[in-house]
Amino acid sequence: MLSRVADSLYWMSRYLERAEHTARLVDVELQLWLDQSPETGAGRWRFLLEGLHAPGAKGAVDAAKLMNALVFSRTNASSIVSCIATARENLRHVREQCSSEMWEQLNRLYLNVMQTSPDEAWMVKSHGFFRAVQEGTHLFQGITDATMSHGEGWQYIQLGRYVERTDTLASLMEAHFKRNAQPAEQVVESAEYLEWVALLRSCLAFEAYCKAYTAEIRPLRVAEFLILTPEFPHSVRFSVDRINAALHVIGDLTERREKSPTRIAGRLRAQLSFSQIEEIMVQGPHAYLENVRSECAAIHSAIHEIYFDYPIESEMAS
């Protein structure tokens, strides 16, 4: 597979994951806003920006402007519309690599969001928009899995999605833990309860959590669930497992299994597999998640260096 093609598929997938993540977070925030007192509400916006690692987290925040920046702005490369447009552009560069159904779906999603404008009417029914973005990306994933051959290209799509997911999940939790008291075993009440539920919902994890631990919200268990559960698709460990699986297949296909991406990802995976939540709390969840993010960044650079943009000289010598 051409390096440029792999690069485009990887980024396409990352951008789409980012769009979905942002849509989910903003949607959850808007719902939560309704339940909160005005003062807490204003504070939450800042938290949202921190969770997304977006600029402008300082100073007063205007809801309409913020919404525009996160959803529609074309100057913010991480806004939902920008992400979907960039994802589409990436796929357009490698259209012949994906199935026609995939292209059609992404193109439809793109045309749909491009038609939307941030006016009064939109603010009222914005929930529908965020749902459409999330459904659109889920549909794209489903179509990808059902119609594209699960070869090397598909693996880069997996890789992009889970690298992005690991990073965004870790960012979100980092911001959350920074803001709230050290997660404890006790069940939380009212105001705090809303915050923890919002975190779960932001990771699509509320229902799955309830199945595992009932509706009693115990912060320590929430943290455990989101970081260490191997079965839940929006947990850090699940995402890192997937990164590993994809890198192994790619490594075999390209005879590059011994190289650095596999090694770094394996190290991170081992760490997550054998960690206990109590230990993490002693070490400090903030530091732990920061380490996850920096390892994730290292995996990203290694993929780039080994598969996308390697020096020609080394290849000629071998």
Partner 1 sequence: MTATALPSRSRVQPSFVRYQFETAYDEMFSAPGVPREHYQALHRTLLGLPQEELLKRQQAADLTFLHEGITFTVYGSKEGTEKIFPNDLVPRIIPSIEWAKIEKGLTQRLTALNMFLRDIYHEGRILSEGLVPRELVYSCKHFRREMRGLNVPRDIYVSICGTDLVRLPDGNFAVLEDNLRVPSGVSYMLANRKVLKRVFPTMFRDYGVWPVDHYPQALLATLRSLTPENCQYRQDPTTILLTPGVSNSAYFEHTFLAQQMGIELVEGRDLLVHDNVVYMRTTAGLRRVDVIYRRVDDDFLDPLCFRPDSILGVPGLFNAYRAGNVTIANAIGTGVADDKAVYAYVPEIIKFYLNEEAILPNVPTFLMTNGKHRNHVLQNLEKMVVKAVGESGGYGMLIGPHSTEQQREEFRARILAEPRNYIAQPTLSLSCAPCLIDGEVESRHIDLRPYILMGEKVTLVPGGLTRVALRKGSLVVNSSQGGGSKDTWVLREGNGEDRVAKIPSFERKAG
Where does this chain bind partner 1 (CB under 8 A)? Answer: 1-6, 89, 92-97, 100, 103-104, 107-108, 111, 152, 250, 253-256, 307-308, 310, 312, 315-316, 318
Tokens of 192: 């705090």
Q: Which is nearer to partner 1, 39 or 315 (CB)?
A: 315
Task: Quote the least distance from Cβ 264 to partner 1, whole Å.
Answer: 17
Classify residue 72 by its DSSP letter: I
Q: Which is nearer to partner 1, 110 or 162 (CB)?
A: 110
Q: Which is nearer to partner 1, 254 or 291 (CB)?
A: 254
Task: Quote the least distance from Cβ 105 to partner 1, whole Å.
Answer: 9
Q: Which is nearer to partner 1, 91 or 208 (CB)?
A: 91
Contacts of 88 (CB under 8 A, 6+ apart): 12, 106, 107, 109, 110
Task: Quote the least distance from Cβ 82 to partner 1, whole Å.
Answer: 17
Tokens of 44: 């939450």
Please report where in the chains the tokens 């709390």 appear, as a residue: 281
The C-alpha atoms of residue 282 and residue 278 are separated, in whole angstroms, by: 6
The C-alpha atoms of residue 196 and residue 20 are separated, in whole angstroms, by: 20
Please report where in the chains the tokens 């007192």 appear, as a residue: 37
Task: Quote the least distance from Cβ 158 to partner 1, whole Å.
Answer: 14
Q: Which is nearer to partner 1, 152 or 167 (CB)?
A: 152
Task: Quote the least distance from Cβ 315 to partner 1, whole Å.
Answer: 5
Task: Quote the least distance from Cβ 1 to partner 1, whole Å.
Answer: 5
Q: Torsion angle, CA of 101/105/108/110, rounded to 10 degrees?
A: -130
The C-alpha atoms of residue 231 and residue 238 are separated, in whole angstroms, by: 6
Q: Which is nearer to partner 1, 84 or 227 (CB)?
A: 84
Task: Quote the least distance from Cβ 316 to partner 1, whole Å.
Answer: 6
Q: Which is nearer to partner 1, 108 or 178 (CB)?
A: 108
The C-alpha atoms of residue 292 and residue 134 are separated, in whole angstroms, by: 26
225 to each of 131, 178, 218, 221, how far by Cα in Å? 24, 18, 11, 6
Would the CA dihedral through 73, 74, 78, 84 be positive or negative?
Answer: positive
